Structure 1
Amino acid sequence: MTTPPADRTPRQWALARAVSDIDDHVAALPWDGPVHLFALIRTAEAIATDEQFAAELPASIKIEADGDAEHLTSVEQDELPEVADLEELLACIAWPEAVAGAAIVTERIVLPPEAEAEVAASDDPEAYLTHPKREDVRMVVGVLRTGETWTVLRMRHHSQDVMGGEDLVPGLTAALAATFEDID
């Protein structure tokens, strides 16, 4: 797990752990997959209020959550609406109050700045996809309703090297955080 600096709050640590756990889960999946969306719920609250959830939760998670009010459990959202793009997906998501946060997993292609300029000057619509310096990046972005954020990045060709930080993908982080804004 990529760890946040030592001066972080228990809530920030809980988010970093949850996002890293999601990254570990999706790292076992093949690349070029779909977007994954997760609700993040406070484990202790869910155990106390939902008997079925408590019964299905592995004992190891119950032990981790015991005495840790900030511990988070991720719940993958299986039936996402069919939309044209990620921005449209996030624009139609709203969470109930019981959801403490959310995480999203998506992949992007990145190029170094000099290659970006080269591709921008090209007339070939496939230039971005076929450029020899392209790198596929899987991003796991998590936000809490209370404002904390954490992101984990993993490169396809350096999949053992994982980078984590608070706001590594600001646009996606802001779009995910907006799913918690009140729409009145």
Structure 2
Amino acid sequence: MDNTPPDVPASAHLAAQPLTRTVLEIDSYVAGLGWDRPAQLFALVDTARLRVEEPGLAERLDLDETAEEGLTPVEQDELPPGVPLDEFLATIAWPDAVAGCALTLERLMLPPSVEGAVPEGLSESELTRWVSEHPQRQEVRLTVAVLRDGARESAVRRREKDSDTEVLTGPDLVPGLARALAATFEE
């Protein structure tokens, strides 16, 4: 019998690793909220530990004894507007009870075949404008998660193929963001 909550996508049921299941669960949750949203940060906590140490929160999150073991994402407050992401992440210090964290954000991406066509010497704002006007740009939502032990996982969802079955996963899809999130656990 499958005890996974019904709002978890079918692809998450098939994922072998708890971190992959968690990333897919977060991706599906955020997808349900729609596009054109600000970045969202999640603390990742051990589900069994959460049930023992925070039974009230576990109850509010509907984590009864039949809930799947692994990681539970806990959505954090909105990121402060106008603060660059790297500066914001540098201010985070997680308590010991947090096993990891995840971040979702939307970006424009270009296919690798376009890399050689990027004009040299563009400022950051000029590059952003150039990418946003490029005919091969793709809108994507990135979900990146890291654990204290160094494990990483990512999911990429393209807006043009907005389906749980079309989400690409892998540990090294967004290495720069994964490094920035991992740095929030360094002392």
Moved over 4 A (4+): 121-124
Other-structure match for 2:92? 93
Deviation of 1:117 (Å): 3.6
Distance 1:137 1:51 in 2: 36
Q: Is residue 2:26 matched to residue 1:27?
A: no
In 1: Cα distance, 2:137 partner to 2:45 partner? 36
Number of matched residues?
170
Report deviation, 1:119. 4.1
Q: Secondary structure at the match of 2:167?
A: strand
Give 2:93's aligned amino acid: A
Q: Is contact 1:83–1:89 with CA below 8 Å preserved after alignment? A: no
Instruction: Return the letter of the residue paired with 1:27.
Output: A
Corresponding letter in the other structure for 1:167: D
Distance 1:129 1:111, change over 3 A: same
Q: Report if the CA contact (8 A) 2:40-2:78 is conserved.
A: no
Partner of 2:175: 170
Q: Deviations along 1:99-137, whole A, 9 cap, x unmatched?
A: 000000011211124434434269893322111100111
CA RMSD of aligned residues (A): 2.3
Q: Gapped runs of 5+ residues in structure 2?
A: 1-10
1:127 has 2:136 as partner: no
**Other-structure match for 1:9:** none
Q: State yes or no: 1:158 paired with 2:158.
A: no
> Greater shift after overlay, 160-169 or 48-57?
48-57
Report how far residue 50 of structure 1 moved.
Answer: 1.5
Unaligned runs of 5+ in 1: 7-12
2-structure distance, mates of 1:50, 1:29: 27
Corresponding residue for residue 104 of structure 1: 103
Structure 1 pair 64/55, CA: closer, same or farther in 2 (3 Å)? closer
Rounded to whole Å, the distance in 1 between the matches of 2:105 and 2:87 is 14
Deviations 1:21-76 (A, max 9, x none): 000001112222100000001111111112311322325x64133xx3xx111111
Q: Structure 1 44/170 Cα, relative in aligned 2: closer, same or farther at 3 Å?
A: same
Q: 1:141 aligns with which of 120, 132, 144?
A: 144
Q: Render the CA deviation track for 1:10-30: whole Å, top value 9, x for unaligned.
A: xxx111111110000011122
Identity, in percent, stands at 45
Secondary structure of the structure 2 residue equivalent to 1:28: helix
Cα distance in 2 between the residues matched to 1:79 and 1:114: 35
Q: How does the TM-score come out when normalised to structure 2?
A: 0.81
After superposition, what is the alpha-carbon deviation per residue over 1:72-112, rounded to whole angstroms, capped at 9, x for unaligned? 11111114334532111211111000000000001121112
- How far apart, in 2, do the equivalents of 1:16 and 1:113 lie? 25
Question: Is the Cα–Cα contact under 8 Å of residues 94 and 180 in structure 1 kept in the other structure?
Answer: yes
- Greater CA deviation, 34-43 or 157-166? 157-166
Report the TM-score when normalising by structure 1: 0.82
